[in-house]
Amino acid sequence: MTMNSENNNKDPRHLRRILAIWLPLAAVGDLLFWFLVGPHVPPGDLTSTASSNQFDFNILFVIALPVMIGVWVFLGYSIRTWSAKRVGVAEPKGGSAARSNLRAQVWWITLTTVIVLFLAGFGTVELVIGNGSGGGEGPNPAWAPTGATAAELASATWSPTDNHVLPVQVIGQQWQFTYRYPTFGGFESSQLILPAGTDIEFNVTSLDVIHSFWAYQLSVKADANPGVNNIAYTKTTKTGNFTVRCSELCGIWHGAMYNYGKVVSKSAFESWATSTEAANAANTANLAPYAFTYTPDANGAAGGYYEDGTVTPYSTVEVYGAKQPAS
């Protein structure tokens, strides 16, 4: 936008005019966004990753908006000022001055490079200090909260007072998510309940195809791959409800693969977890022992997950080759 105009005395200073239109628009646009829209930008502030996701989005937006307004103002100004229909519009001048302009080119390239490098650096910092920012980091996370190494979690316990990281396993299968809590005897639940004010480690895996665990308001998204433990971190900050949706196409009922979760107080969580552990004890005994991944059976489906042998895993009815549960 800093194109060098070869002004002669009759010619208005187009770039200054454009700048004069752009500056107030960009300033007002940014301020309106930052103060009016910004605080309400999804995914909210239920967790640390949600807050930083919102913050990052807003930073990107206040940088992007002036750029977009700048281009639009330039386009609009050009269309209005240099239309051939306009009476008295000057004949354009060809020649080398119209073919390139070193100052304009250097300015443009420098400006875009600076913005881009700043954004990459900013994103990296946010990613690293945000413990992976809620994205799935695979089995060997590069960034993790303290106390979340595999060795520490293997012997982990969790109570409302000890500030430990809470590991929760997310198991995706066609077409539902279930959750196991290894620190509470490895019981499995179709409900995702989390304590507030706690670092959470999600261990995401799948029994069949690739799903993606997207806890929208928690700002956590991690693909569920069969045979892979995909780890994602977040820290809950307050109580509230959230939605879990599958975010990777996983077959015909992908659109119906969602449920709801809750962040509750630490004590409420503990009482829910201990009571569910006790109530589910008989079922838990029949489950495969808690593991990071579960091996499917010879049919290529996760039949091996049911150890008791009384469950007939699959019927012969095929829809897209996926065999439906018999029941």
Residues in 182-241 that interact with other proteins by CB under 8 A: 204, 208-210, 212, 214, 216, 219-223, 225-228, 230-232
Among 38, 251, 303, 313, binds other proteins (CB under 8 A): 251
Residue nearer to other proteins on the CB measure, 7 or 274: 7
Distance in Å, CB of 121 to other proteins, minimum: 9
Of 115-154, binders to other proteins (CB under 8 A) are 116-117, 119-120, 123-124, 126-128, 130, 132-143
What are the start-end ranges of the H helices in 158-303? Answer: 266-279, 281-286
Q: Considering the rule CB under 8 A, would residue 89 count as an interface residue with other proteins?
A: yes
Measured N-to-C along each axis, helices 48-81 and 14-32 cross at an angle, to the nearest 10 degrees, of 150
Distance CA 219, CA 111 (A): 32
Distance in Å, CB of 83 to other proteins, minimum: 5
* C-alpha distances out from residue 130 to 23, 133, 263, 298, Å: 34, 5, 20, 40
Residue nearer to other proteins on the CB measure, 170 or 273: 170
Return the CA Rg of the chain.
Answer: 28
Among 20, 28, 31, 64, binds other proteins (CB under 8 A): 64
* C-alpha distances out from residue 14 to 7, 108, 109, 234, Å: 9, 17, 21, 50
Q: Considering the rule CB under 8 A, would residue 112 count as an interface residue with other proteins?
A: yes
Among 24, 35, 36, 94, binds other proteins (CB under 8 A): 94
CB 250 within 8 A of CB 211: yes
Distance in Å, CB of 190 to other proteins, minimum: 18
| Number of residues in the chain | 327
